[in-house]
Amino acid sequence: MAVCTVYTAHSLNSTCSISTPTKTHLGFNQKHVVLYSTNKKTARRASSAVITCSADTQTVVIGLAADSGCGKSTFMRRLTSVFGGAAEPPRGGNPDSNTLISDTTTVICLDDYHSLDRTGRKENGVTALDPRANDFDLMYEQVKAIKDGVAVEKPIYNHVTGLLDPPELIKPPKILVIEGLHPMYDQRVRDLLDFSIYLDISNEVKFAWKIQRDMAERGHSLESIKASIEARKPDFDAYIDPQKQYADAVIEVLPTQLIPDDNEGKVLRVKLIMKEGVKFFSPVYLFDEGSSISWIPCGRKLTCSYPGIKFSYGPDAYYGHEVSVLEMDGQFDRLDELIYVESHLSNISTKFYGEVTQQMLKHADFPGSNNGTGLFQTIVGLKIRDLFEQIVASRAKTPLEATKA
Ligand SMILES: Nc1ncnc2c1ncn2[C@@H]1O[C@H](COP(=O)(O)OP(=O)(O)OP(=O)(O)O)[C@@H](O)[C@H]1O
Ligand SMILES: O=C(CO)[C@H](O)[C@H](O)COP(=O)(O)O
């Protein structure tokens, strides 16, 4: 009997079914979904299968790109919180897994597609940012399989040991987030994304955050942090930064303009750059859609200490694309008063009045909760929930087929 392995076991979610050319039928064994030829005398490999999954459970794929230490984990915690439930590493799996699973979302870290481990990179003189240190073929195949409703055995890059560990099973979630250095680098992977975000942290701010984390929490010296940022810079400029041109939303973090020659880096100017014309995504606006507006909300309804808060909003161009840009410079003194700002923003995709403020208060201890990084990350989280719901609604009307030759 000819056997053709199709997909890894436990792979298809419960709504999926498989049909194959007439002379084959589906069988299962413990580890694999297989196709058997039904005609034993003329047994031959089944050459193709069509997998049909219920449209409303097809995985929506979100890409989040940023350099290391730029707030991806914090953003992920805000995003998964919007969907409710806690995100945890796979139960009973590798304690050094980089994956986080909640009821609705699975977040995988693209570091798991490093093809060279720490020693391999050292021997070859390449950084982890260099595409040669990453397996984009596997990344593409596995993200595509998950999107098609099929589980995969994904490798694990172990940040503790610097080695590649045995793989872990990733089942298709409702929303798959691929976060890391290169979610938009390879065109095939990029084309699988339903929405993409780039966290663009200016060098000055990146440096301040790195110092804060790596000196305080990881015992690194100031000199070694400087050296590590410098060593990564050429590859960052060549391979990571250019991805922002493809992002549907960019959160850009810059030093404040409210304090002349500020070099403390504590007060931030944050821009939310939103591409126009993206399916299922309508940019947020302040007061009046399409106008150019500058707003200082400080006064009776919003307490502001020095240097105050300034919002701006308006149309712009970004890498040749039409965008809307919402900007916040400064920081909040009292998060409960954020409702005043929220009530002047439109298209924020909340389900009830004050949801942004509620989310921000819930995670007041997360980095950036008193400034535009936290505010815009929360809003993008709500926009992703809205995008997901719209995609599900539209797919329910047109069932999809996923094929594998
Ligand atoms: N919005 C923010 N405001 C201030 N500091 C921040 C902000 N976001 C992140 N940081 C700082 O940067 C550090 C790294 O954040 P986070 O762990 O979210 O980044 P990451 O991109 O997931 O990092 P890595 O890829 O290295 O794990 C935090 O510990 C914090 O010190
Ligand atoms: O840029 C990175 C993304 O997180 C890391 O530096 C890369 O994954 C290598 O990790 P490590 O330094 O633990 O070997």
Task: Say if pTM beats, i.e. exceeds, 0.90.
Answer: no
* Ligand closest to the CA atom of residue 209: 1
Q: Specify the amino acid at residue 294.
A: S
Per residue in 87-133, pLDDT (tens digit) is 899 999 999 999 999 999 999 999 999 999 999 999 999 999 999 99
Give a yes or no: residue 405 inside a domain.
Answer: no
Same domain assignment for residues 163 and 288: no
Give a yes or no: residue 236 inside a domain.
Answer: no
* Number of domains the chain is built from: 2
Distance in angstroms (rounded) separating the CA atoms of residues 361 and 371 = 12
Give a yes or no: residue 30 inside a domain.
Answer: no
**Binding-site residues, ligand 1, Cβ < 6 A:** 66, 68-74, 209, 212-213, 367-368, 373
Helix (H) / strand (E) element for 169: namely: strand 163-170
Domain that holds residue 89: 55-199
Pocket test for ligand 1, best of 213, 229, 363, 378 (most atoms within 8 A of CB): 213
Give a yes or no: residue 209 inside a domain.
Answer: no
Same domain assignment for residues 190 and 309: no
Same domain assignment for residues 71 and 130: yes
3-state secondary structure of 403: strand
Among 135, 170, 199, the domain-final residue is 199
Among 174, 199, 224, the domain-final residue is 199
Instruction: Please report, for the domain that includes residue 119, its CATH number.
Output: 3.40.50.300
Q: Which atom of ligand 1 is nearest to the CA of 111?
A: 25
**How many whole angstroms from 72 Cα to the centroid of ligand 2?**
13
Same domain assignment for residues 70 and 195: yes
Two structure tokens written together for 231: 């060593």
pLDDT at 324: 98
Residue 5 pLDDT > 50: no
**How many whole angstroms from 297 Cα to the centroid of ligand 1?**
28
Give a yes or no: residue 69 inside a domain.
Answer: yes
Give a yes or no: residue 16 inside a domain.
Answer: no
Give a yes or no: residue 224 inside a domain.
Answer: no
Same domain assignment for residues 169 and 253: no
Per residue in 293-344, pLDDT (tens digit) is 999 999 888 999 899 999 999 999 999 999 999 999 999 999 999 999 999 9
Rounding to the nearest 10 degrees, give the CA dihedral for residues 270, 85, 392, 73. 30
Pocket test for ligand 2, best of 64, 68, 73, 185 (most atoms within 8 A of CB): 68
Q: Is 392 exposed, middle or buried (0-12, 13-18, 19+ CB in 10 A)?
A: middle
Pocket test for ligand 1, best of 70, 107, 373, 379 (most atoms within 8 A of CB): 70
Give a yes or no: residue 386 inside a domain.
Answer: yes
Q: Which residues contact 46 (CB under 8 A, 6 or more apart)?
A: 2, 4, 20, 21, 23, 24, 35, 36, 37
Same domain assignment for residues 78 and 165: yes
Q: Which residues contact 216 (CB under 8 A, 6 or more apart)?
A: none
- Backbone φ and ψ for 64, nearest 5 degrees, come out as -125, 115
Same domain assignment for residues 269 and 186: no
**How many whole angstroms from 181 Cα to the centroid of ligand 2?**
9
Same domain assignment for residues 61 and 127: yes
DSSP state of 171: -
How far separated are the first and last CA of the chain, in Å rounded?
20
pLDDT band at 8 (very low <50, low <70, confident <90, very high): very low
